[in-house]
């Protein structure tokens, strides 16, 4: 597999989860997939594999002594750009998952925050913070919906 093919595979892979959260948030398949940590495992494995097998060890020194020119060197290599892209994809999807779960639990609209998170990571997170502050309800009363209880326990274990 070439680096370009791996890049495309990762992009298409995460797109399935993003499309589910954005377009089909209440579909049972979306809820089941997003309730699991399993979608992250392939990204983690690919990240570690490409980190160890394709990146130039010298360019990774920037991770231990962060300097902008060192980061630019890493991004300037296809392998480095792939590793950093997988990192961003995994972390943005994880944050998107959290936003999605919070929306399901608190019954607030999240599509705008998810779209922003997909394309601009931290902007989507901030958007969700603002939306949650304005419209979110932290309902601690008893809930008869076991699916919401499951989402709450997953969300709580994620935030610990």
Per domain, the residue ranges of the chain are 3-159
Cα–Cα distance, 144 to 5 (Å, whole number): 46
Instruction: Identify whether the C-beta of residue 75 lies closer than 8 Å to the C-beta of residue 81.
Output: yes
Lookup: tokens for 27: 């579909």
Give the tens place of pLDDT for each residue, 137-148.
765 544 555 555
Give the tens place of pLDDT for each residue, 85-96.
999 999 999 999
The per-residue pLDDT of the chain, averaged, comes to 88
Question: pTM to 2 decimals?
Answer: 0.82
Q: What is the pLDDT of residue 141?
A: 46
Which burial class, exposed, middle or buried, applies to 87 when counting CB atoms under 10 A from its CB (0-12, 13-18, 19+)?
Answer: middle
Instruction: Identify whether the C-beta of residue 100 lies closer than 8 Å to the C-beta of residue 158.
Output: no
- The three-state secondary structure class of 132 is helix
């Amino acid at each position: 597999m070439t680096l370009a093919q791996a890049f495309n595979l990762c992009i298409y892979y995460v797109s399935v989860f993003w499309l589910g959260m954005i377009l089909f948030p209440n579909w049972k398949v979306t809820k089941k997939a997003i309730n699991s940590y399993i979608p992250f495992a392939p990204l983690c494995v690919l990240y570690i594999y490409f980190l160890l097998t394709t990146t130039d060890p010298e360019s990774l020194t920037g991770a231990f002594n962060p300097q902008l020119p060192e980061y630019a060197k890493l991004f300037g290599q296809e392998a480095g750009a792939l590793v950093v892209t997988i990192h961003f994809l995994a972390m943005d999807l994880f944050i998107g998952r959290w936003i999605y779960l919070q929306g399901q639990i608190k019954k607030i609209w999240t599509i705008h925050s998810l779209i922003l998170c997909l394309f601009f990571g931290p902007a989507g997170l901030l958007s969700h913070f603002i939306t949650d502050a304005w419209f979110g309800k932290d309902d601690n009363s008893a809930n008869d919906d076991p699916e919401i209880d499951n989402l709450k326990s997953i969300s709580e274990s994620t935030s610990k």
